[in-house]
Amino acid sequence: MQKMEVKIPSYPKSSYTIAIGAEFLSTVLLQIKKLLPAGQLFVITDANVAKTKHLKNLLGKENIPRFVITPAGEKSKNINTVTKIIEQMEKKSLGRDCAVIALGGGTVGDIAGFVAAIYKRGVPVIQIPTTTVAQADSAVGGKTGVDSSISKNAFGIFKNPAAVFIDVSTLKTLDERQFNAGLVESIKHALIADANYLTYLQKNLKGILARKQKPLEYIAVKNCKIKAAVVEDDPYEKNKRRILNYGHTIGHAVESASNYKLLHGQAVAIGIIAANIIEQKLGLGGKERLEVLKKLFGRLNISLKIPKNITKWQILDIISRDKKTVQKWPRFVLLEKTGKVLCKNGQFAIQVERKIVEETIDILLKK
Ligand code: NAD
């Protein structure tokens, strides 16, 4: 038998720029062309975003091929949509020198990033997020993917964008429920990384909800700085990146048990309150923080009660299949104090006794 070694040079370190501002969408195409001079472009957006002025603002009079995901939202975040998009790109004779532009919320960004990662073994993707979720979270960090009929993001790959352009004025057309729910990710960022940011959110929520340019830019910058710092430290979620899942263990379970009737942010708000209750039961404190959070979520019109048709057993079943699970029981990201995640023996996701979790769910079912 003969053996030989194939030496694969490791990927060069990569980086990308996030541009944040207002009313600059009409200048973005030119910036993309400068960044990626040779290639053809392909835009992926969805039916709702296509109805707004944003697509026109981005493209001007340029006739760039595009795919409009219909219907918009999670329903279309599946492999059939990916196949349709890829076949459309082939019909337009796009080669390996093309680049994909994602204009939309997290579903568009996740689908477009996944398409870009696999089209002819990978082409660049540019993220232009237009929701509070996408601007705070999904456009940065390189997680992409689509759902299977069984679970969320079952098909997935890391694909960092070539650039991100955050124009906060695109948020003006987003409906209020979506806008408010997406702000929960900003609150999560403050809780895990920056107590002063939580104070800022409390003090400036009125301006944020009025969609004023200055506070929206401020939170976009803060969110990107916090997420980027975590992702730079642990790009492939081996450990520290798990802190971004604060509130997501019970949050995801409630979202899934509601059959996605609750928006992600609404469910994560419940998950954040659950984490706070667990922190108190473990003697980590945070009584005052809980009151602050209840008020903040109240101002966002987010109910903190687990919907009536969901049972404790459903939630326990779903969390036993969580991605942070060890021996069929999840680990939880918890706060040591506002702005700092608890780290035990170098781990950012901590084992919590089943009894404590059950008592916490009971409290949130009764609320
Ligand atoms: P979404 O993309 O479905 O957008 C919500 C709704 O708003 C849709 O109907 C959309 O058409 C509409 N919309 C988007 N922008 C608009 C605008 N400016 N004006 C008017 N309407 C607009 O949902 P989302 O909340 O942005 O993202 C949720 C998705 O993101 C989920 O699939 C989730 O798994 C994913 N996600 C991914 C990451 C990641 O790291 N990759 C992080 C968080 C969430």
Q: Are residues 37 and 119 in the same domain?
A: yes
DSSP H/E element including 86? helix 79-91
Listed residue (218, 154, 160, 157) closest to 189, CA to CA: 218
* pLDDT averaged over every residue in the chain: 94
156 three-state secondary structure: strand
Whether residues 165 and 208 fall in one domain: no
* CA 11 – ligand 1 centroid, Å: 30
What number does the ligand 1 atom closest to the CA of 265 have? 25
Which residue has its alpha carbon closest to ligand 1 atom 28?
106
Please identify, among 149, 173, 197, the residue that sits at the C-terminal boundary of a domain.
173
Q: Of the residues 150, 173, 196, which one is the last residue of a structural domain?
A: 173
Q: Write the pLDDT tens digit of every residue in 4-58.
A: 989 887 666 689 999 999 999 999 999 999 999 878 999 999 999 999 999 999 9
30-49 burial code (b ≥16 CB/10 A, e <16):
eebeeebeebbbbbbbbebb
The verdict on pTM exceeding 0.85 is: yes
CATH number of the domain residue 83 falls in: 3.40.50.1970
In angstroms, rounded to a whole number, what is the distance separating the alpha carbons of residues 187 and 108? 23
Task: Give me 11's structure tokens.
Answer: 């990927």
- Confidence band for 151, pLDDT divided at 50, 70 and 90: confident
Q: Are residues 336 and 325 in the same domain?
A: yes
Q: Is residue 85 part of a domain?
A: yes
Please tell me the distance from the alpha carbon of residue 230 to that of residue 207, in angstroms, as a whole number. Answer: 28
**Whether 168 and 180 share a structural domain:** no
Cβ of 113 less than 6 Å from ligand 1: no
Q: Into how many domains does the chain fold?
A: 2
Question: How remote is the C-alpha of 204 from its chain's centroid?
Answer: 22
- 48 located within any domain: yes
The 10s digit of each residue's pLDDT in 166-225 is 999 999 999 999 999 999 999 999 999 999 999 999 999 999 999 999 999 999 999 999
**Residue 111's domain spans which residues?**
17-173
Q: How many CB atoms lie within 10 A of CB 62?
A: 10
Of 110, 204, 119, nearest to 153 by C-alpha is: 110
User: 74 in ligand 1 pocket by Cβ < 6 Å?
Assistant: yes
- Active-site residue set: 121, 143, 185, 227, 237, 241, 245, 248, 252, 264
Q: Stretch 294-308: mean pLDDT, rounded? A: 96
Q: What is the pLDDT of residues 232-248, one digit of tens each?
A: 998 888 889 999 999 99
- Report whether residue 130 contacts ligand 1, using a CB cutoff of 6 Å: yes
Q: Does the Cβ of 134 fall within 6 Å of ligand 1?
A: yes
Q: What distance in angstroms lies between residue 252's CA and the mean position of ligand 1's atoms?
A: 16
Q: How far is the CA of 134 from the centre of ligand 1 (A)?
A: 6
Who contacts 324 (Cβ-Cβ below 8 Å, separation ≥6)? 242, 245, 249, 330, 331, 332, 333, 349
Q: What are phi and psi of 319, to 5 degrees?
A: -70, -20
- List the residue whose alpha carbon is closest to atom 27 of ligand 1: 106
- Domain end (from 173, 196, 216): 173
